[in-house]
Structure 1
Amino acid sequence: MKHTITHNIVRSSTFKESLVIIYPFKATITKLSRQQNQFTLNCSHGNMTKTCPKDHTTTFDQDLEYSSEASGCPEHFKWIHEDLKPWKSTGITREMLESGKSISQLRIVIIQGKAYLEVYGPSFQTRDVFTIWGILQLLRLYPGKVPDLELLFETGDVPVVLKERFQGPNAMPLPPIFHYCGRKDTFDIVFPDWSFWGWAELAIRPWEAEMQSIEEGNKKVEWKDRAPYAFWKGNKRVSLKRYALTKCNASTQHDSYAHIYSLHWDKEVAQGFQNTKLADQCTHRYKIYVEGVSWSVSEKYILACDSMTLFIDPMHYDFFTRSLVPWQHYWPIRSTNQSMCSDIKYAVDWGNANPDKAEQIGKAGTRFIYENLKMNFVYDYMLHVLTEYAKLLRFKPTIPAGAVEVCSENVACPMYGIWRQYLVDSMVKSPSATPPCTMSSPYDEEEAEE
C-alpha cells in the first residue's frame, strides 16, 4: 500500500544514522509521588529539541505497595522458556549479538530504566515507532523492573534466524533476534507486535479500544442469527494461500458456503476505511484466518468475534497462538489447493448441522483472547521475556555510539494526526497497581513437541 507519512525518524541512505526528531516540541513530565502517580505527556512547539526531558521518570518509589497479590501467568507464557532455550547452555555473548546486526532493523538498549535506539534498516510504515512505543510504555508501567539489556529487533514479516544456518559443525554464532512471529525452522524470539498500540496506516486503533469495539459488535447479531457462511476479507495479493482462498468464494457450485472479499488498500484509504471496520465484521457464524506474507495481525481480531474460526494451516506463530487448541478454540483447515475449499465447506456444513457445538468453539476462541490477551498480560509477557533474556547475557550492556535516548516525548510529540492520537491513547498513565503475573515452569519435552 502506498501511503506515505512524515516519520519522526530520518535515516541516511546507509541506514546507520540514529533517530533525528524533525518537529519542534517541548515536553514535560509530572513528578511522581504516592499521592500523584499520573504520567503526563505535554507537547509544546515552543522550542526545538531532539532530546528527552532531563526529569522524565525512569524510576519510582519501590516501596509503593501493590493493591493485590500476583496472579499466575496465562499458559502461553511457557513458550518464553522454549524461545530462549537455544541459549540456555551457552548464554548470549557479545559476538552472538553483534552477528545479528545484518538481519535486524533496530538495536534497543535499556540501562537503568532508560531506553536507547540505534537504527540499522528501514521498517515498513511505522512498525518501528509503535514497537519502540510499546517498550517505552512497559518502562512506565513497571518502572525499575526492566533489567539492563541490549537486544536486536527484526521488524519485517518473515522470521530470519533459520535453524539450518546455525546448527552443525560449521554453524555460525547464533544471534538472538526478537521478532513478531516464529516458525518451526527458525530461532526468532517472539515478541508482541506493533498493532497492540495501533496500526495507524490502516486506521486500526490500539488493542484495548479495538477489543472493546469488537465486543460491542458481537452483541449486534446473536450467533444463531448470523449468516451461516464462512467470511474472510483482506488483501489476497500477499500470499498464494490467500489467492487460493478466493477460489472458494460464494457461487452456485459451492452453495455459498464462503463469502470471500478481496481488499485493495489504496481504495480503502481513499474511502476512509468505511468497509474495513473490524467491529462490523462479526456477522457470520464462521470466520477464516489465513496467513499473508507470514503470520497476520488479523489473527486476534478474527478470534475475538465469537465466530468459529477456521484456521488455514498456519506455518507461523505469534507469542500467544501456540497455546490455542484445535477443535477447542478453532477448526483446522488444510492449506493445499485441493483440500482448502472442501475443508471449509465441510466445517460450515458441520457447524450448521451442529450449531451449539460450533458456537461453543467460536466462543471458546473469543474467551481465550479476552482472558489471556488483556493489555496487562501483553505487558507482563514483554517484561518476562526481557527479564529471562537479560539473565542470559554474558556481557555488560552499553550504549552504542550511534544510539540516541528515546522516551515517550520524543517519539509521540513529533507525530501528528491519528499517529499521534493512537500513541497518546495507548500511553501508560501510571505505574501498575498490581504486580506482574507469576511465570510458570517450562514445558517438558513432550509438551513442547505437541
Structure 2
Amino acid sequence: MVTLEPRGGLLQVREAWYEHLSLKPSSCTPFLEDNPAGDNGEQSIYRRRWPNSFTVLDDSEELFPNLSRQGRMSLPTSFLLGSGAAGGRGRNGRPPHYTPTTSGELRAPIPFTCGNETSSEIPACPRAAAASPSPSPTAALLLSSEQRPAAAQSATCPEYFRYIHSDLSPWREAGIAREAVERARGMATFRLVVVAGRAYVEKYHPAYQTRDVFTLWGILQLLARYPGRVPDLDLMFFCGDIPVVRAAAYPDRSEAPPLFMYCTEDAALDIVFPDWTFWGWPEVNIRPWAPFLEEVARESRRTPWLDRKPYAFWKGNANVCGLRRDLMRCNKGSDSGKDWNARLFRQDWGYANRNGFKDSNLAKQCTYRYKICVQGRGWSVSEKYILACGSPMLRVDTPFRDFFSRGFVAGRHYWPIDAARMCPSIKFAVDWGNAHPAQAQRMGEEGSSFLRNELSMDYVYDYMLHLLTHYARLLRYRPTVPENATELCLESMACTASGRAREFMMESMEKYVADYEPCALPGPFTADELAELAQRDVEMRSKMKKMEEQEEET
C-alpha cells in the first residue's frame, strides 16, 4: 500500500513508493553531474526524471488489452482530472495556442544589433526598455479563464502547469521575505533580479560548462518575447542536478529558502524551472529545442517504426553511476550470456568532440524501435531527446522529475522499467511491443506527440512567465538591484559569444514580440486529485509488473 503524506498542500508518495518500485533512493549517490569523457570532463546528456501519474491510452482502445483478464480498471481518457476534451477544440481539448491580436498588422520585431564587432568592449545594453507591469497586464495574466474578458480568452495551458501552484505552495500563506531569498545564497549559482523589465545577475559559484549562460539567455528571450509582462522579482538559481532544499530540514515549509533549479523530488522543495538545453548545449553540440524538434521529426520519418531494429537502444557514459553499470549487464554479449533485447553503447564525449560529433547527433538515433532512459548521478536532461524519436521510451524508475515530465503517464507516454529488475523488464517490454506492434507504435507516437503539442517553445516560455509572475506575487518587498550585479541584455550576451555558443544563441533568439495572450493557467490540484493520480499510477505499474511475472511463469 502506498503511503500518502501532506506536504505544503501536496500529497507526496513516500518511502512505501520506493519500496513498491524496488528502487533505493541512494542507488546512485549524486552531487553534481556525469563527467563521461574522463580527461576533458565533457558531460553525458543521458540522464533522467520521474513519473507522476498514469492512464490507459483510450477507453475504446487500451494499450494493454490483456489486462481485462486481470481485472482491469475503467479509466477516463484524460489522465489529469478536470482536463477533459472540449467540443470544437483541437488536440488535447485546446484551440491553437496563438491567437494574434494585431489582426492584419506586422509583428513587432525585437531590436538587436551588435554594432561594431571589431571592438573588444562589451556592448552597452540599450536604455530603451519595457516598463515593469503594475498592476496590468500582470494582474490580467493571473485571472482564471472564467474571469478573463471574452476578447482576451486564450487556450488553457497543459495540465503540468498546475504544478506551478504546488511548487510555490510552501510560501503561499506567509509570502517570501528578502531574508528568505538571501538564505539560499550559499546554495545558489547566481542571483537574478528583474527591475522595470531589465535583468541583472550576480554570480556566486561557477556553473558546469555554460549552464548558467544559456539559462540566463532563455530568461532574456522571455523578457523580449513578453515585454512589460515579467514583474519585478528577485530569485536565487542553482544550476546543479540534485535538489538541495531538503524538506526534512524545514518542518515549517514556509521557512525554506526559495531556490530555483532544473528538477525536484518528493523529499525536496526546490522550485522547478526549464533547463538550459532548451536554448542549446554547445559543449555537446545539442541544438536549441525548436530546431531539434524539426530535425528529429525529419529523421524519424526516414525510418518508419516497423522498419527499425526490434531492440531497445541506449548510448551514454556507463561509468558515472552504479545503475548504468547494472544496465550494461543487459547488453548482448554480456557475462550473463543472455540476449535481453538491449543494444547498449558507451559514449565517449571527448572522442565525440574531437570527431566533430559525427556519430553523436541525437536526432539521428531513431533507428531502434525502443529507447532506454536511465539516470546518471542525478537528474537528466536526456529524457526529452529520447522521447522525441517516436519509439516507446523504456524509462528506468528514478525519483527525479523536471517541470514537464510531471505530465507523463506510465503506460501511455512511456513504459516503466523496474530498476531492480532491469534486464528481464527490458526484455519483456521489447517482446510485448514486438508482439503488439500497433499498441507499441502508438505509445511511441503518444510520447513524441506530447513533446510537439505540450512542450513547444511557446509553452516553455509560458511556463516561465506564469511561474515567475506567481513567484513575484509572493515577494513581501520591492526588489532592488544588488550592488555587485551586472546588467544583462541580448547584446551583452550574444555579441561577446563565439563559436557554437553564439551560433546557438542566434538560432534560439526570439525575433518578434508576442502579439497574443499566453495560455491560461489552470488552478491547483486538490489533495484528492493528487491522491487519486498517485494511486492510479501505482495500480497501473502493479498490473504491468504482474504481466511480466506471469510471462516468466509460462
Task: Assess same fold via TM > 0.5.
Answer: yes
1:409 is the counterpart of 2:491: yes
Which letter maps to 2:384? K
Partner of 2:364: 280
Aligned to 1:299: 383
Which position in structure 2 is the counterpart of 1:361? 443
Whole-angstrom distance in 2 between the partners of 1:420 and 1:266: 21
Equivalent residue number for residue 8 of structure 2: none
2:298 corresponds to = 216
1 CA distance for matches of 2:409 and 2:522? 19
User: Which residue of 1 is the match for residue 271 of structure 2?
Assistant: 189
Select 2:233's aligned residue among 145, 149, 163: 149
Specify the alignment match of 2:155 in structure 1: 71
Structure 2 CA distance, aligned partners of 1:86 and 1:68?
Answer: 31
Give how far 1:256 is off: 5.5
Deviation of 1:390 after TM superposition, in Å, equals: 0.6
Is the alpha carbon distance of 1:166 and 1:364 closer, same or farther for their aligned partners in structure 2, counting shifts above 3 Å? same
Structure 1 match to 2:397: 313
Q: How does 1:19-58 map to 2 (within 5 A)?
A: 37-43=108-114, 44-50=116-122, 52-58=124-130
Distance 2:172 2:397 in 1: 30
Q: 2:125 corresponds to which letter in structure 1?
A: P
Partner of 1:330: 414
Which stretch shows the higher mean deviation, 40-49 or 293-302?
40-49
The one-letter code of the counterpart of 2:244 is V
Give the conservation status (yes or no) of the 8 Å contact 2:170–2:254: no
Which whole-Å CA distance do the structure 2 matches of 1:421 and 1:234 have between them? 25
DSSP 3-state at the match of 1:237 = coil
Deviations 1:175-199 (A, max 9, x none): 0000001011000000000000000
The answer as to whether partners of 1:69 and 1:434 remain within 8 angstroms in 2 is no
Q: Does 1:269 align with 2:353?
A: yes
Structure 2 letter corresponding to 1:286: Y
SS of match in other structure, 1:219? helix
When the two structures are superposed, what TM-score results if normalisation uses the length of structure 1?
A: 0.88
**Map of 2:201 onto structure 1:** 117
The amino acid that maps onto 2:198 is K
Instruction: Write out per-residue CA displacement over residues 284-324 of structure 1, whole angstroms, 9 at most, x where no aligned residue.
Output: 11101111121211110111111010010021001001111
Using the TM superposition, give the Cα deviation of residue 60 of structure 1 relative to its aligned residue in structure 2, in angstroms. 10
Tell me the CA shift for residue 162 of structure 1.
Answer: 0.6
Please name the residue that 1:165 is paired with: 249
What residue in structure 2 maps to residue 26 of structure 1?
none
* Deviates most, 263-272 or 46-55: 46-55
Structure 1 range deviating more: 145-154 or 238-247: 238-247
Q: Distance in 2 between matches of 1:46 and 1:53?
A: 17
In structure 2, the partner of 1:175 is 257
Contact 2:246–2:268, Cα closer than 8 Å, also in 1: yes
1:190-212 per-residue CA deviation (whole Å, 9 max, x = no partner) reads: 00000000000000010001111
The aligned length equals 416
| Alignment partner, residue 97 of structure 1 | 181
Q: C-alpha offsets along residues 308-353 of structure 1, whole Å, 9 cap, x if unaligned?
A: 10010021001001111100111000112xx111100110111111
Partner of 1:420: 502
User: Is the CA contact 1:82–1:448 (under 8 Å) kept in the aligned structure 2?
Assistant: no
* Contact kept? 2:290, 2:457, Cα under 8 Å: yes
How many angstroms apart in 2 are the aligned matches of 1:192 and 1:117?
A: 18
SS at match of 1:73: coil
- The gaps in structure 1 that reach 5 residues or longer are 6-33
Equivalent position to 1:393, from 469, 475, 478: 475
Distance 1:388 1:36, change over 3 A: closer
- The correspondence for 1:257, drawn from 341, 352, 375, is 341
1:350 partner amino acid: W
CA gap of 1:36–1:306, structure 2 versus 1, over 3 A, is closer
User: Can you give the 5+ residue segments of structure 2 that lack an aligned partner in the other structure?
Assistant: 1-36, 43-104, 138-150, 535-554
Identity rate of aligned residues, in percent? 43
Q: CA deviation at 1:254?
A: 2.6
- Give the superposed CA RMSD: 2.3
Which amino acid is the alignment partner of residue 312 of structure 1?
V
- Is the deviation greater in 83-92 or in 50-59? 50-59
Q: Secondary structure at the match of 2:255?
A: coil
- For residues 36 and 279 of structure 1, do their structure 2 counterparts lie closer, same or farther at Cα, with a shift above 3 Å needed? closer
Shift of residue 131 of structure 1?
Answer: 0.3
- Residue type of the alignment partner of 1:193: D
Contact 2:239 2:262 in 1 (8 A): yes
Pair 100,121 (structure 1): closer, same or farther in 2 beyond 3 Å: same
